[in-house]
Amino acid sequence: MKKLMIVCVICLQLMGVVACAETKSWSGTYIYEADYGKNYPGTPMIVSYTLIIDPTSCLLEISGYQAAQEITCEVLQTKSGIEVHFVAFSATSMQNFKDLYRQGDLLFSLEEKQTGLLTYWKIMNPEAAIAEDQIYFKKYE
């Protein structure tokens, strides 16, 4: 009986270690829509940033007003969130952005907070001078 109890205690301890080792899955679709107002004729200037993460790939699609980019990216998990790194532009991306980033550049990072996903813009900064670390992306899947 004593051996059985010891085995049960060891099993419970091992299950606790396994549960602690599990990390949050970031798989899903995250969307941020930047609204830059309207141009002179009154056309809305909206650009959508769609980050698609699955266990084997990462894709960032940027589309909308004067924007058409598709970026293959790499996601690295950190202690408090993820980092999204540039890998390559797709062949269909707008040509004038081809030299904007280098492979491995940190585009931005995300950290889950109680209020939502906090975005830390790095080399990619869609809000230009006004971008601050705040909630931009929302998870949809």
Q: What percent of the chain has pLDDT over 70?
A: 76
Conformation bin of residue 28: beta by default, left when phi > 0, alpha when psi is -120 to 50: left
Range of the domain at 89: 23-139
Q: Would you say residue 90 lies in a domain?
A: yes
Q: Would you say residue 73 lies in a domain?
A: yes
Q: Would you say residue 127 lies in a domain?
A: yes
What's the number of domains the chain is made of? 1
Closest by Cα among 122, 117, 123 to 32: 117
> Which pLDDT value is given to residue 68?
87
9: confidence class by pLDDT, cuts 50, 70, 90:
very low
Instruction: Round the average pLDDT of the chain to a whole number and report it.
Output: 81
CA–chain centroid gap for 81, Å, is 9
Q: Would you say residue 18 lies in a domain?
A: no
Closest by Cα among 95, 24, 22, 92 to 53: 24
Q: Would you say residue 128 lies in a domain?
A: yes
Q: Would you say residue 38 lies in a domain?
A: yes
> Which pLDDT value is given to residue 131?
62
